[in-house]
């Protein structure tokens, strides 16, 4: 029996891998189609992600649900697997989930003989919209989960569509890793349920708070987007300060005021992500909140050295002087160390690359000074550039003497 079971599992995974390329193409087609639908209805604050089921995940599902008893041939299982392809529409708030579902109900308005709904624009992508939504899960919580069919070259593939708000994405990750993927026996099951319920309630509270903030921004300063941008920067700077001040107190026993550092970090994040419109600011707000949510779960050491993955490279003398001066102080001066510790944790990736980018950010803040612009009214371009570079060099040497973090504050 055991040999037959694992022979079946092997056959299913081989069947999956042989059609993976085809499934990935289908995945992309479905993703693009839903993006077009939602964009056409001005549902601007959303992101669509997709995936083809992994081999490991499929093996686990076969064993967990005893599919080897239900299906005789591997091809049967593949043909009937509802989530072979997964499509997820991520939105900002829980109330947005229902709005997106309404858009899809309106778009998929025609019904075929099999009971699936489609639109004449693309009859190859169909949804099962008879089931009640959102669906009640075993854990008691609700989720928008819709079965779909994708047809191409007379071949039909199942897919599952989910609509999830930001906090429900977080919740799904927590539940998946803590409960769904936990192969150990769980002691004190009721205690675990209470903890998970508490986490869910806190996430719902965060959703309400974010919605209230968004509504307030929409009401206030509607005419002046510059003021609203500043409010978003201030909001995130405060969240950064709150998270790190608690962790600092737990790590070293006291809190050093670093609010100005948080303000500068937020200005850097928004500007280096080329945020110009309010929609850009909202996208960066959500991404940064997601990152801060991850950071809030981690332990942070405030007494360890900052290291770079490679030798730093600077494009000009200004960045070279300032950059090397900071590097000399970064593990000796607590305020410099704290500033770049926060920056490097929020900006995932290479510390050396982030540091070089920050030097360019500081340089550009000086270059864009209105006083420098006046040089080009009094001198020709070559002379103005020469004077500008000499002044920038003097500023850099002045910083080397002063070596204070206040230099980078506005």
Enumerate domains of the chain plus CATH numbers: 2-167 (3.30.460.10), 220-296 (no CATH), 317-341+349-408 (no CATH)
pLDDT score for 403: 83
Please report the DSSP string for 120-155 in residue order: TTEEEEEE---S-SSEEPTTS-EEEEEEEEEEETTE
The residues facing 164 across adjacent strands are 90
What whole-number distance in Å separates Cα of residue 246 and Cα of residue 213?
Answer: 23
pLDDT score for 312: 94
What pLDDT tens digit does each residue of the chain (410 aa) get?
445 677 888 899 999 999 999 999 999 999 999 999 998 876 557 889 999 999 888 888 888 788 888 888 889 999 899 899 999 999 888 888 999 999 999 999 999 989 999 999 999 999 999 999 998 877 667 889 999 999 998 889 999 999 998 878 777 766 655 555 554 444 446 656 666 666 667 666 767 766 666 666 566 555 566 666 777 788 888 888 988 888 888 888 888 889 999 999 988 888 887 666 656 767 777 788 888 888 888 888 888 899 999 999 998 999 999 999 999 999 989 899 999 999 999 988 899 999 999 999 999 988 888 888 888 888 999 999 999 999 999 999 999 998 889 988 87
pLDDT score for 43: 54
pLDDT score for 248: 87
Four-CA torsion 39, 45, 46, 47, nearest 10 degrees: 100
pLDDT score for 252: 80
Instruction: Name 91's Cβ contacts closer than 8 Å, sequence gap at least 6.
Output: 43, 45, 46, 97, 99, 100, 163, 164, 165, 166
Backbone angles phi, psi at 19, to 5 degrees: -110, 10
The residues facing 161 across adjacent strands are 87, 146
**Two structure tokens written together for 219:** 């009401």
Four-CA torsion 344, 345, 348, 351, nearest 10 degrees: 30
What whole-number distance in Å separates Cα of residue 9 and Cα of residue 261?
Answer: 55
What whole-number distance in Å separates Cα of residue 363 and Cα of residue 321?
Answer: 11
Q: Comparing C-alpha atoms, which of 229, 407, 193, 237 is closest to residue 318?
A: 407
pLDDT score for 183: 46
Cis previous bond, 134, omega within 30? yes
The residues facing 110 across adjacent strands are 118
Residues 74, 14 contacting (CB under 8 angstroms): yes
Helix 334-346 with 225-252: angle, nearest 10 deg: 120
What whole-number distance in Å separates Cα of residue 301 and Cα of residue 282?
Answer: 30
pLDDT score for 307: 92
What whole-number distance in Å separates Cα of residue 363 and Cα of residue 391?
Answer: 12
**Two structure tokens written together for 162:** 């989910």
**Two structure tokens written together for 253:** 């026993």
């Amino acid at each position: 029996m055991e040999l037959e079971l694992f022979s079946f599992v092997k056959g299913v995974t081989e069947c999956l891998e042989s059609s993976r390329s085809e499934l990935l193409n289908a995945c992309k087609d479905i993703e693009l189609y839903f993006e077009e639908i939602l964009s056409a209805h001005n549902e601007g604050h959303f992101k669509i992600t997709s995936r083809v089921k992994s081999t490991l995940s499929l093996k686990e599902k076969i064993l967990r649900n005893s599919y080897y008893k239900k299906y005789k041939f591997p091809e049967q299982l593949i043909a009937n697997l509802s989530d072979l392809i997964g499509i997820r529409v991520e939105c900002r708030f829980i109330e947005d989930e229902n709005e997106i579902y309404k858009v899809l109900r309106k778009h998929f308005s025609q019904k075929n003989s099999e009971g699936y709904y489609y639109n004449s624009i693309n009859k190859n992508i169909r949804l099962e919209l008879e089931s009640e939504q959102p669906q009640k899960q075993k854990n008691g919580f609700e989720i928008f989960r819709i079965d779909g069919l994708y047809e191409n070259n007379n071949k039909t593939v199942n897919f599952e569509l989910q609509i999830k708000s930001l906090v429900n994405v977080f919740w799904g990750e927590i539940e998946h890793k803590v409960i769904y993927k936990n192969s150990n026996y769980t002691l004190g099951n009721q205690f675990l349920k209470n903890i998970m319920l508490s986490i869910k309630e806190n996430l719902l509270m965060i959703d309400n708070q974010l919605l209230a903030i968004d509504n307030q921004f929409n009401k206030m300063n509607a005419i002046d987007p510059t003021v609203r941008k500043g409010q978003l920067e201030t909001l995130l700077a405060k969240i950064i300060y709150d998270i790190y001040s608690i962790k600092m107190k737990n790590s070293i026993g006291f809190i050093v005021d670093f609010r100005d550092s948080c303000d500068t970090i937020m200005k850097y994040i928004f500007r280096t992500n080329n945020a110009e419109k309010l929609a850009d600011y909202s996208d960066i707000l959500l991404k940064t909140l997601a990152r801060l949510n991850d950071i809030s779960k981690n332990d942070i050491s405030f007494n360890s050295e900052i290291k770079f993955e490679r030798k730093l490279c600077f494009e000009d003398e200004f960045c070279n002087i300032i950059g090397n001066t900071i590097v000399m102080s970064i593990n000796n001066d607590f305020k410099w160390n704290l500033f770049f510790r926060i920056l490097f944790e929020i900006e995932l990736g290479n510390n050396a690359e982030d540091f070089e980018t920050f030097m360019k950010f500081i340089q550009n803040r000086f270059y864009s000074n209105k006083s420098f612009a006046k040089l080009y009214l009094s001198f020709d371009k070559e002379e103005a550039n020469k004077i500008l570079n000499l002044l920038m060099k003097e500023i850099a040497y002045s910083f080397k003497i002063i070596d204070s973090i206040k230099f980078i504050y506005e």
